[in-house]
A and B are shown apart, each in its own frame.
Chain A
């Protein structure tokens, strides 16, 4: 089952609040809030994985399911 709203998972316990994910997000979907970085505009997130790439402590995970293309019916 495709999850159309799959979003990067942010581990706030591991996050150092460095702000790299906020600065690098190409669509400004993530903002720094009191609790840490939050994806405030999920509809703008393209799941490009850049936030995961730039996080220096590995606190962001963009996981992929690997499947065959299944033609839809109807």
Chain B
């Protein structure tokens, strides 16, 4: 195997989609080699749009390094962040299966990113020639459905304070991509506006669940925050 091909297979092994802990749906070495042959490395500087909502879907992407943000924008300019993704994660796989083949959401590089792009026609060809790829894609779709169901539950059933408490716990517990957040970014992620985030942070501070330091939100009371996250 040539060095370049070997390096790509190695990098693809770190993609969560291909590296399941469930043996029955782990991608075979031959399937990885088949994908490594057709992926193209792409680099984007921070704050560059990688995918534009509504445009024809060109490819699926696998994140090798850096972080991206997936979001939708209303006509009024209000943004809803759907996900922040990091190394090992994939995006834009869904529109490859749909009739209109248009991107469902925009994706922006939040840091400098390196991606592997798998073009639509190569993706479909790989699906036909590697049945185990279809299985891992199905598993990924199931995970995405769970994530979006949780997001709908959050938006529909929880108060802003509840959503914020849950978000703070996820961030501090390290279950999400570690990074710094502005109040605007938190608002876009939690489906609200900055004022509500500011008010909710002040309320949680007054109730001694958190402390606001210079550039740091410090969580103080897990039990109270977990109770708040249920509201």
Inter-subunit contact A58/B184 (CB<8 Å): yes
Stretch at the interface among A2-10, A23-31, A32-40: A2-10
B110 CB → nearest A CB, Å: 12
Assembled-state Cα–Cα distance A49/B182 (Å): 9
A61 and B182 CA atoms in complex are apart in Å by 6
Binding site for B on A (CB under 8 A): 2-6, 46-47, 49, 52-53, 58, 61-69
Report chain B residues within 8 Å CB of A67: 172, 216-219
List residues of B whose CB falls within 8 A of some A CB.
168, 171-172, 180-184, 194, 198, 211-220
Report the bound CA distance from A63 to B216 in whole Å. Answer: 8
CB-CB < 8 A to A63: which residues of B? 180-182, 215
- Select from chain B the residue with minimum beta-carbon distance to A2: B216
List chain A residues, Cβ under 8 A from B171. 66
Count the A-B residue pairs with Cβ separation under 8 angstroms: how many? 62
In the assembled complex, 8 residue pairs joining A and B whose CB atoms fall closer than 8 Å, in A order, are A2-B213, A2-B215, A62-B182, A63-B181, A63-B182, A64-B181, A65-B217, A66-B168
Given contacts A52-B182, A62-B182, A63-B180, contact A68 B215 (CB under 8 A): no
Tell whether, in the assembled complex, residue A65 and residue B194 are in contact, meaning their CB atoms are under 8 Å apart.
no
Q: Apart from A52-B182, A63-B180, A65-B215, what 10 extra A-B contacts exist at CB < 8 Å?
A: A2-B213, A4-B214, A5-B214, A49-B183, A53-B194, A61-B182, A64-B180, A65-B217, A66-B171, A67-B217
Closest CB pairs A-B (n = 4): A6-B215, A63-B180, A66-B171, A47-B214
The smallest beta-carbon distance between A30 and chain B, in angstroms, is: 15
**Residue contact A69 to B183, C-beta cutoff 8 Å:** no
Q: Contact: B181 with A66, CB < 8 Å?
A: yes
* Separation of A59 and B17 alpha carbons in the complex (Å): 37
CB–CB A65/B182 < 8 A: no
Q: How far apart sit A6 and B213, CA to CA, in the bound complex (Å)?
A: 10
In the complex, the answer to whether A6 meets B219 with C-beta atoms within 8 Å is: no
Report the minimal beta-carbon distance from B215 to chain A, rounded to whole angstroms: 3
Contact yes or no, A64 B215, CB < 8 A:
yes
A58→B182 CA distance, assembly (Å): 11
Judge whether B215 and A47 touch: CB under 8 Å: yes
A3 to B180, CA, bound (A): 12
